[in-house]
Amino acid sequence: MSELLFLSIFAAIGLNLFPRHDGAVVELIGQRVLEPVVRASGNTLRIDFNEPVEWLETASLPIWIDRLTADSSGLTIEFDLLIASADWALSGDSMVMIVFARAEEEILLPPVAWQAPPAPPDTSLWSDSLVFAALERGEGSPWLVDFDCIVVDPGHGGRDPGAVGRSGSREKDRTLEISLMVRDLLRIRLPELRVVLTRTVDEYVSLGARTRMANRNRADLFVSIHCNAAVNRSANGFETYFLSRARTDDARAVQMLENNVLELDEISTVPEDPLSFLLADMAQSIFQNQSSHLAGAIQSSFSHAFPVRRDRGVKRAGFYVLRGAYMPAVLVEVGFISNPEEEQGLKSLDFRFKAAQAIVESIVEYAERES
């Protein structure tokens, strides 16, 4: 009844299933090139491959899936809710399918061609009332997963120092110190929340591994912490990004700076074609409202914490580290390590504590709003 799409993926296949507020993510991970044919109808999703596959791991069945049958020719998933839409995205070495299931009535998937730019997701289908109706029926909608896990990502690390200040401060050290404080403060403010750091020591973690960690942990939020740098030493202030195509030259410059680490990544097959960018971008665009809301909350917390510093606002850019995160995700630039005054600030415990506190306050506000 609905949709066919073709996609080359890499055939021993691993399977992961992530529940999300907005639906579900089906992640297929493999190394051989395959052409899956996807049919979605009602609550059933069927994926057929053009050659036999071997499943590496069978995911234990989450409550939001009624039945899962994996055989050598493909995969059938019966969801406990109707499928509103399904889209593919390619993320580094994995293929990812995103399924939305918030419709009360059957909605047939519109034809989606792999080669064509995807239509923006129809957010009108995700009215909260459907979810509330499910809750009133006492179903404890599996789609409303509690806000129970956050991944905090200290930018850079190991052989990637990030930006380095004039007096020798390295971005990777400052971001780790702030992130550890964020973790400790969150444990006090939100004791029920599971806080995962992408690194807790000075080690190199590839950008792809950071978001994979967030996906594996079923995180509800991904917060990446960085320090800014600019050729102009007087540039100063704090800004928060969410994933989108860069809109201004400044945002493009920051994007280039933070994406530079890709050269250090051992995986040189980072998808750089515009299509995979578009799809990864689309995956994040689903969480765009939540991400931009959190970005705004972080900016206003920083304004309160640092009334004399410059609020550079909420910005959009195409950060690689935010791509592939199937959850709301933001990147905070707490200050300019290239600005001598802010570099001094970043070296002081008081400054870093205030920054960590500002981030935590906005996460607490976000958590209250989301749960």
- Please give the residue ranges that form the binding site for Zn ion (CB under 5 A): 155, 162, 226, 258
Q: Two tokens at 91?
A: 């993320």
Q: Minimal distance in Å, beta carbon 246 to Zn ion? A: 15
The closest residue (CB) to Zn ion is 226
The CB-of-333 to Zn ion minimum distance in angstroms stands at: 7
Q: Give the Cβ contact number of residue 187 at 10 Å.
A: 13
Query: Closest distance between Zn ion and the C-beta of residue 171, in Å?
Result: 5
Decide whether 85 or 228 has the Cβ nearer to Zn ion: 228
Radius of gyration of the chain (CA): 21
Q: How far apart are the first and last CA of the chain?
A: 36
CA 24, CA 307: separation in Å to the nearest integer? 41
Tell me how far apart the alpha carbons of residues 82 and 338 are, in angstroms, rounded to a whole number: 51
- Closest to Zn ion by CB, 163 vs 360, is 163
Q: How far is the CB of 226 from Zn ion (least distance, A)?
A: 3
- Which of 220, 333 has the CB closer to Zn ion? 333
Least spacing, CB of residue 260 vs Zn ion, in Å: 9
Q: Which residues contact 349 (CB under 8 A, 6 or more apart)?
A: none
Given the complex with Zn ion, which of 156 and 218 has the nearer CB atom? 156
Nearer Cβ to Zn ion, position 166 or 369? 166
Residue 26 near residue 17, CB atoms below 8 Å: yes
Q: How far apart are CA 369 and CA 366, in angstroms?
A: 5
Token output for 15: 């399977």
- Residue located via tokens 């993320």: 91
Q: Minimum Å distance from CB 155 to Zn ion? A: 4
Q: Between residues 135 and 264, which has the closer beta carbon with respect to Zn ion?
A: 264
Query: What whole-number distance in Å separates Cα of residue 5 and Cα of residue 291?
Result: 29
Decide if 51 contacts 11 (C-beta within 8 A): yes
